[in-house]
Structure 1
Amino acid sequence: MTERRVRRAAMAAVATLAASALLSACGVLPGTAGGSRGPVVVMTWAPVDTKGTNMPGMLAMAQVVEKYVNAQGGLDGRKLKVLTCNEQDDSVAVTNCAQQASDAGAVAVVGSYSEQGSAFTSALETDGIPYIGGYGITEDEFQSLMSYPVNGGLPALLAGSGRQLADLCKKVTLVRPDSITGDQFPLFLDTGLKVGGLSAVRDIPTADDSSDYTAVAARAVGDNKHSSCVSAVLGDHTSTFFDALRRTGNSQPKVQISSVIGSVQQSVIDSTGGPDSPLEHSYITSWYPPASDPKWDEMKAAINKYAFGDNRIDVGDPGVQTTWIAYDVFTKVVRAMDRKTELNAANVQRAMDHTSQLSTGGLTPDLGWTAGDMKSIPQHARMVNTEVSYQRIANGRLVAVRPGFVDLTATLRTERPY
Structure 2
Amino acid sequence: MTGNGRRRFSPSLSLRTAAALGSACLLAGCGVIPGATGGSRGPITVMTWAPQDTRATNMPGMPAMGQAYARWVNSKGGLNGRELRVLTCNEGNEPAAAAACARRAVQEDVVAVVGSYSQNGRAVLPPLEAAGIPYIGGYGITDEEFRSAISYPVNGGQAALLAGNGIQLATSCDRVSLVRPDSVEGARLPHILNSGLAQGHHRTAADIPAAEDAGEYTDEARQSRRRTGEDGGCVTAALGAHTANFFDSFRRLPPDGRDVKVASVLGSVDQPLVDRTGGANGPFEGAYITGWYPDAGDERWNPMKRVIREHAFGDDRIDPADAGVQTTWIAYTVLTKVVESLGRDKVTAGTVSRALSRGVRVHTGGLTPPLRWRYEDMLGTPGFPRIINHKVTFQVVRDGRLVAQRNGFVDIAPTLRDAATL
| TM bucket normalised to smaller | 0.7 to 0.9
TM-score (structure 1 length as normaliser): 0.88
Shift of 1:59: 1.4
Structure 2 counterpart of 1:338: 343
Counterpart residue type for residue 192 of structure 2: F
In the alignment, what sits opposite 2:409?
405
Kept in 2: contact 1:108–1:129 (CA 8 A): yes
Larger radius of gyration: 2
Whole-angstrom distance in 1 between the partners of 2:314 and 2:252: 33
Residue by residue, what CA displacement relative to the aligned partner does 1:331-362 show, whole Å, maximum 9, x if unpaired?
Answer: 111012031x3211011100111234421000
The Cα of 1:62 is off from its aligned counterpart by: 1.1
TM-fit CA distance, 1:35: 2.4
Matched, 1:123 2:127: yes
1:132-180 Cα distance to aligned partner (Å, 9 max, x none):
0111111111111101011111111000001111122222111122233
Q: Is the 8 A contact 1:62 1:323 kept in 2?
A: yes
Cα distance between partner residues in 1 of 2:316 and 2:112: 27
1:267 paired residue number: 272
SS at 2:318's partner residue?
coil
Are 2:88 and 1:84 aligned?
yes
The residue that corresponds to 1:327 in the other structure is: 332
Q: Is the 8 A contact 2:191 2:419 kept in 1?
A: no
Give the superposition deviation at 1:202.
1.3
The residue matched to 2:223 in structure 1 has which SS?
helix
Q: In structure 2, how many angstroms separate the alpha carbons of the residues matched to 1:252 and 1:320?
A: 40
Deviations 1:350-375, CA, capped at 9 Å, x for gaps = 01112344210000000001123112
Which range is displaced more, 203-212 or 395-404?
203-212
Equivalent pair of 1:57/1:312 in contact (CA under 8 Å): yes
| C-alpha distance in 2 between matches for 1:128 and 1:101 | 11
Q: How does 1:31-42 map to 2 (within 5 A)?
A: 35-42=39-46
Q: Which residue of 1 aligns with 2:153?
A: 149
User: Structure 1 residues 383-392 or 90-99, which shifts more?
Assistant: 90-99
Q: CA deviation at 1:382?
A: 0.9
The reply to whether residue 276 of structure 1 matches residue 281 of structure 2 is: yes
d(CA) in 1 for partners of 2:206, 2:417 = 22
Deviation of residue 185 (structure 1)? 2.0
CA distance in structure 2 between the partners assigned to 1:331 and 1:77 by the alignment: 12
Higher relative contact order structure (alpha carbons within 8 Å, sequence separation ≥ 6)? 1
Q: Are positions 1:238 and 2:238 aligned together? A: no
Name the structure 1 match of 2:54.
Answer: 50
**Structure 1 counterpart of 2:301, which letter?**
W
Following superposition, the deviation at residue 52 of structure 1 comes to: 2.6
The residue aligned with 2:225 is 221
Over aligned residue pairs, what C-alpha RMSD do you find? 1.9
Among 183, 186, 199, the alignment partner of 1:182 is 186
Deviation string, structure 1 residues 225-280 (Cα, Å, up to 9, x no partner): 32211001122221222221221134997111110011111121122221122211
Whole-Å separation in 2 of the counterparts to 1:357 and 1:105: 25
The separation in 2 between residues aligned to 1:303 and 1:313, in whole angstroms, is: 8
Q: Sort the Cα spacing of 1:249 and 1:306 in 2 relative to 1 into closer, same or farther, 3 A.
A: farther
Whether 2:400 is the aligned partner of 1:393: answer no
Q: Does 1:310 align with 2:315?
A: yes
Paired letter, 1:75: L
Question: Which segment is superposed worse, 237-246 or 148-157?
Answer: 237-246
User: 1:252 & 1:332 partners in 2: Cα distance?
Assistant: 55
**What fraction of aligned residue pairs are identical, expressed as a percent?**
51
CA contact (8 A) 1:115 1:181 kept: no
Find out whether 1:193 has 2:197 as its counterpart.
Answer: yes
Taking a change above 3 Å as real, the CA distance of residues 312 and 243 of structure 1, as seen in their structure-2 partners, is: same
**CA–CA distance in structure 2, aligned partners of residues 83 and 191 of structure 1:** 40
Q: 2:7 matched to which residue of 1?
A: none
> Which TM-score applies when normalising by structure 2?
0.87
Q: Secondary structure at 1:269's aligned position in 2?
A: helix
2:376 to 372, 376, 401: 372
* Partner Cα separation in structure 1 for residue 347 and residue 396 of structure 2: 44
The 1:276/1:250 distance shift into structure 2, 3 A limit, reads farther
Q: Cα deviation per residue 1:176-203 (whole Å; 9 max; x = unaligned)?
A: 2223332332222122112322222212
Aligned to 2:338, the other structure's residue is in SS state helix
* Residue-by-residue CA offset, 1:38-90 (whole Å, 9 max, x unaligned): 21100111112233322111111111111111111111111111111111122
Task: Work out whether residues 253 and 278 of structure 1, in 8 Å CA contact, stay in contact via their aligned partners in 2.
Answer: no
Partner of 1:98: 102
**For the Cα contact (< 8 Å) 1:191–1:416, is it kept in 2?**
no
Contact 2:238 2:268 in 1 (8 A): yes
Spell out, residue by residue over 1:297-349, the C-alpha distance to the aligned partner (whole angstroms, 9 max, x if none): 0111111122243222221111110000000011111012031x321101110
From 260, 266, 287, give the equivalent of 2:292: 287
Q: Can you list the C-alpha shifts for 1:207-234, whole angstroms capped at 9, x where unaligned? A: 2222222222222211663221100112
